[in-house]
Amino acid sequence: MSAQLALTIAGMQRSVQQGTTGTDLFGEDRTIVAMTVDGQLQDLFREVPGGAVVEPVAIDSVDGLNVLRHSAAHVLAQAVQEVNPQAKLGIGPPITDGFYYDFDVEQPFAPEDLKALEKAMQKIINEGQTFDRRAVTDDAARDELASEPYKLELIGLKSNASEAAEGAEAEVGDGGLTIYDNVHKDGTRAWGDLCRGPHLPSTKLIGNAFKLLRSGGAYWRGSEKNPQLQRIYGTAWPSKTDLKAYLDRLAEAEKRDHRKLGRELDLYSFPDEIGSGLVVFHPKGGVIKREMEDYVRRRHIEEGFDYVGTPHISKAGLFHTSGHLPYYADTMFPPMELEGAEYRLKAMNCPMHNLIFSSRGRSYRELPLRFFEFGSVYRYEKSGVVHGLTRVRGMTQDDSHSYVTAEQAPDEIKHLLSFVLSLLRDFGLDDFYLELSTRETEGDKAAKFIGSNEQWEEATSILERAARETGLDLVDDPGGAAFYGPKISVQAKDAIGRTWQLSTIQYDFNQPERFGLEYQAADGSRKQPVMIHSAKFGSIERFIGVLVEHYAGAFPAWLSPVQVLGVPVAEEYADYLWDVLKQLKGNGVRVELDDSDDRFPKKIRNASKSKVPFVLIAGEDDRAGGAVSFRYRDGSQKNGIPIAQAAAEILSAITERRQV
């Protein structure tokens, strides 16, 4: 008789026979696709040890979706090699809302290839192949994967998987290697891949709620020095309903793409002559940028900040002092030699603010001391990740730094959180949660974080308390901190439910020490301040990109480049309408008159495309009655509105920051 094991299963104490697997425990529920054993995600076919805490993983949970999508990536790779046996495998991890797999193939994938691959995948899925895990030695893996050069490279890098490639952790790790075989119903091996798993019990659980979305080039291990592979992106969901909802969101997101709307609305462009990741704002985009700058400058002053300014370039030694070199050397532009000294384009403003603090003696009476600037910084983002305004190489940060006593730090963080959240709400973003980024404490990654355990524990505790007092959800982000201290980031949802990381607040106990910053305390002693970094927009460029997509280009009246467009019914009413517009202009309203030769219906269509919040129309009845007609973005119209009443409605919408 087999031994009995005591387990905690889904919070309840149970006794099971030795050799019991996750399939034995949860196999009757097809919505359960994996399990956690003492917090570790595992396949259902694994045996559970005595004394373990076992929890089921549902397919619609975060972990469950990752297992589903990782399994779909394996099926994609199997289908590719069935169609093209010469294709070499890269990596294939799950990602947000989907998965991808990289391949080395002679010809890029065409749209019709993706359709054929979907059919091949469906055949594998319908067969109900199982995923079989087996441990292998390094040498055995090399022998088995001798024809896969990229897998061999990953095996060589297994002790440092985080350096191997984005997503490589799904293939190799710090422990032993495993290969997952896709197995036919008759027990024969169909295909296999180097992988850490876990996977679904059967390909049948993928069903038909998957789709291959697109393909494109991707450098191996993310470096342009390496070969360019072909990456296929796909998505997989628990049901066809979920898949359709996601595809509908993608279609809506495509309509809102800020790069497309930026061209259509003449807001900004990215000239090749200037370079990748560098934006120029056109007059209409410049209006939005100026309104944002004016707003946030005023708000900072109201919140007790002093406006400062720093140069775009500095001697490289400054960034050694701050500690940013060598931590961020790869994302800084290469050095330049000037008059025998090495200079760098600045990638961050904080070192220069520290020099302002240390330019003279400081007293405790001055603290909190708050500096703010629109600081232009430059980051060497790889060309493959540059994306419109949301990932650029040159950006303007609404960057601020608070220098406080240790006792003042908790209240300052609360003050900054309140400031940040009120600012986002003024821009129409009011659905958010907070993320607390902390350091790695184990492994090679832990070495990049400086400071004592006591410093990290105190800083993290202060940030966490302030975050929880907001009443917002707080999500942990282990390992996501900067090297010099933990941070809170605001994750805001836009109009179609996508989440964007925007504002950040960081606690820094490192730079004050490195720069020797001091203030004179009340007892006459010299003490080191705490430095708190905060960015409200993050960067102005990225925030504009988010707003364009959030509003689909239809900005609230106060932000709209043109707030009122005048459209005369015929040329003879243009002068009358211009007189009305001039009155509004005198009150600070941004106006335009369409006095083109286009016919009236076309002018109305153009007005609709321009997404102007207010269109004023004037014909004979309007002129005779000293009135105008309103046309709104939704196509509705009000006729014969007295000029004074029309002006009051427009000014009210602007000053109250209403969406119309």
Which active-site residues does the annotation give?
Answer: 350, 379, 397, 399, 401, 487, 533
300 is annotated as contributing to ligand binding? no
Among 171, 188, 168, 167, residue whose Cα is nearest residue 179: 171
CB 463 within 8 A of CB 515: no
3-class secondary structure, 549: helix
Q: Are 343 and 366 in contact (CB under 8 A)?
A: no
473: tokens are 């959800």
- C-alpha 404/C-alpha 379 separation (Å) is 29
| Degrees, nearest 5: CA angle 429-491-403 | 100
| Cα–Cα separations (whole angstroms), residue 567 to 406, 526, 577, 634 | 60, 67, 8, 17
At residue 216, the 3 state secondary structure works out as strand
Residue type, 418: S
Backbone angles phi, psi at 511, to 5 degrees: -65, -40
Closest to 553 (Cα-Cα) out of 257, 195, 198: 257
The residue among 253, 179, 269 whose CA lies nearest residue 213 is 253
- The residue type of 183 is V
Residue with tokens 């180097």: 194
Q: What are phi and psi of 348, to 5 degrees?
A: -155, 155
401 labelled ligand-binding: yes
Put the strands of the sheet holding 313-315 in their side by side order: 313-315, 341-345, 336-338
How far apart are the C-alpha atoms of 414 and 224, rounded to whole Å? 43
What gap in Å lies between CA 468 and CA 489, rounded to an integer?
13
Residue 87: how many other CB atoms lie within 10 Å: 17
DSSP helix/strand/coil, 493: strand
Alpha-carbon distance 601 to 599, whole Å?
6
Question: Are 373 and 349 contacting, i.e. CB atoms less than 8 angstroms apart?
Answer: yes
**74 labelled binding-site residue:** no
Show binding-site residues for Zn(2+): 350, 401, 533
Q: Which residues are annotated as a binding site?
A: 350, 401, 533
